[in-house]
Structure 1
Amino acid sequence: MSRIHPLPDLLVNQIAAGEVVDRPASVLKEVLENAVDAGARAIEVQLEQGGVRRIRVTDDGCGIERDDLALALERHATSKIASLDDLEHVATMGFRGEALAAIAAVARTTLTSRAEGAAHAWRIDGDERSLAPAALNQGTVVDVADLYYNTPARRKFLKREATEYAHCDDMFRRVALARPEIGLQLSHNGRVIHRLPPGSVAARVAALMGDDFLQHAREVTADAGPLRLTGFASLPAYSRSSRDAQYFFVNSRFVRDKLLTHAVREAYADILHGSRHPAYALFLDIDPAGVDVNVHPAKIEVRFREARAVHQFVYHALERTLAESGAGFAIPPQGRARADGAQADGGPAAETPAASPPPTTRPPVHAWPAVAAQQGRLAMEPSSRAYFDFAAGARPAPPIGLPENATAAAAGTGARSGGTAENPRDGEWRSTGSTPPSSLASDGSPPLGFALAQLHGIYILAQNSAGLVLVDMHAAHERILYEKLKTVLDGRPAVQRLLIPAVFSVDAKDLAAADECSEVLSAMGFDVGAAGPQELAVRSVPALLASAPVAELMRQLLQELREYPATEVVAARRNALLATMACHGAVRANRQLTLPEMNALLRDMEATERADQCNHGRPTWTQLSLAELDRFFMRGQ
């Protein structure tokens, strides 16, 4: 065995480069973060051949003093920390002082910089370490050419130009999203790809993730002591097949942390099922003393001092944001404005008034009963009569899926004093929702308006102050039942006894599952027992599912119980099981609903969390504004 000997500095740097510089995108990350730490307000990135041939980053930051240029290329030399206390409270992107030395060890590197107040700039060569005067207004230029020219074995591991450029582009996006106050530009092979002026977070997110994402995302804002979470999280309808649109930042540092990823995944678990993934750009601000960023060479992983508290904060902040139904708020007339000032439908905001007909063609404010009364002039007079009664405050018919004799506890309502679920006081609200309809629009109408008709036995057409609302009645009712079942199952669910037990044939496995899991089924409100050698009888069901197809529902539940242990179903898979129950219990397509039933469903949507999506993440309703309808029919043109 050979004697122990110290390694040459060049070899040490080349070994370090194996951890820090694994591809051009890694070089770009380190140099961009240095520019940010230097206080740059404008950064320009030029790439050639995916960054393999050249990476040139120009910034207008504070610059580097002449005598410090040589030190900048040495290992473990930095201006960002000086003590252990600085390391424990580090607020800069870089702090180890290894990046430039590692880069200069595997590429032809030139560093040009002019410090504030200096007469001119200075340039240093990464190989010869020779200083020479240079021309530069202010800031620093880092030019990295011929990556891995002196380590050909490492160069063989690089991918095609398009792949390496894609990684560089993603790295550029991360820094640009984290720092919207900085203007950035990226060009590749002489062609400008991104030109991003300084601006708001929303404008930067729209520029890099698309207006479509911003229109289908909820803004997240939450504070809890030293923790603050902001950003945008997509609705389930905007889900993707991959995780390529997921950006999480801790103190403006992009991280890929298992704890944070799990918190986000749990927040979406109730509304996004299957193999779909959400899109988001989230920014967590935390006291630097509460997070350790020195746990990974590339600084992409972090460790939190209070990991559970951070997890719960992120989870609950996202869950609350996603639980807020868009139907629970007044819907902005004429569509939703984009971050750049344009309307959600694609037209500039300034053009909307010109394309709309005069305001006098609209129904006057506070005229909903009059609008309903005018429906009597149309052919559908019976429906318009019910519509008028509902708009005027008459009691709706029994909610769909709820028997007349169900108790208030089964409906999840809790009747007000002096009334019951069966006989509420005149004028009191009555639906499966736990509250009266949520906030009204300025004209006194509910956010989802009032039902007009049913389309092909699938959709409900409703009119609100903004225009036309289309509702998928099965998807909407499925979400309502699901949320009710979750609430009811936390206590003892009310049951509906069946006058005639539902008897159906099953195989031996289902029969055994029903016997083994009888306690689980009973806790859910089912009374199930054997009725023969290969038959089961269901004698009671949860009151909320009284109108569900019993045999079909029970077979599906028994299949779930066979595949997973009963304890696991009750715990981890409880919500998935309830989603199955809600799907079978929801109103089916081609069932004809009366106007009061449709309106009761709309009111329940307004009072239900996450009512914008069904249990599978699909949208339950959409809005067509008057401006969109006017443009289609060319009114005012």
Structure 2
Amino acid sequence: MPVGTVISVKNLFYNTPARRNFLRADTTEFNHILKVLRRFFLAYPEIKFTLIHNGEELYQLAAATLDERIVQVFGEKFYKGMVSVREELNQIQVEGFVSRPDFGRGNSEHQYLFLNKRAIQSRSLAHAVLQGYGNLLERNRYPQFILFLTIPPHQVDVNVHPTKMEARFSNERAIYHLFLTLVRRAIQTPGFVPEMQMNSDRPEHREIRRHFQQFRRSGKPSAIQTLGPSPEPAANQLTINYTLPESPAPPALTLEPPPAAPEGHTQATLWQVHNRYILAQVNSGLVIIDQHVAHERILFERVLAYLENEHRAPSQQLLFPQTLDLSLEDYLMYSDLKTWLEKIGFSITELSGRTILIEAIPADVKVGYEGKILLEILDYYRENEDKKYTPNEKIAAAFACKNAIKSGEKLSQEAMNSLVDQLFATREPFFCPHGRQFLAQ
């Protein structure tokens, strides 16, 4: 194509006007465009790109290296959360970047895979990357990656789907294992995961450090290992036995019995099971409550009441305001939701570029989690934007889902009583904000 060629696309729905009715919100459609363009930005960092939307210049990307292009597109914070990786097998090569475990997100939005510089999607290879992290990722968190797979053309078929977004390999198993190995080697990179630090020079601590380092270098699950030279340790010798089973057995059922109520005071009998469910004894039997979904219902109705009554929710001022660099999609979504975010308790100042300063947060948000909660609200709203709910309901559901107490969190007897009392004070105590029943009797 000659240099300077201009391509114009107009009147897309001239012959099929009915298709216009299937368009979603403008922000959603523009995000789809951004997703396509971003693949070109990453695949060809040596090319200069300019993106103008509604007369506003959103991207001015100079020709650069891949590292520089990642900073241009996603920001420096995103780049610092990534680790460079490379693996090769015969004529097959994979290289690029994968995120550290603490840099995972609540969706797989930022997973980019290129086959011979052509953007593709592969559930199998994305699963291989996820499996490579093992248990390092939190539950319901996904790694971010930008990976380039180079393979001889005769070993791949790209004519699997009309969009050319899928591919079939002649040796699927070998490539899957290559991606798995890629991440497992990255785990051993210094700084990829937090190191075990022991500053003590006691002999037993040096022994722990030595065995821990050997285990990390080997990368293999081991049978029971005993630290220390003697099977029968002396009084001043430390021995640690540990086992890493391939398939850990489910935890035993544990119940936390409630303390005895004060004399003359009647209190419901509550137990916590697996730090996930609350069992309450009632006249007609036993009620089982999912603690996360119950708290989600409470927060949903509380936030929805503030939004519908035009009252600002109570907030807490941050002693140290937090700056947050947003991607272009997140910034556009934030701009659309700014009014609602202020109503539920956020106080945010816009700085230069796409950087914001979080100065106050809703009273229900834990200090230190403000940036994470805000990003998860934006992700949740984006994923559910096309659902038939009002904007108030979507914002309330997003905040409730991402800020509710988690499964696995141990609750005191007082906290369980408060949770159950607040749950049955809501309008719909038997259903979560999405309409699913979460209470069984």
TM-score by length of 2: 0.49
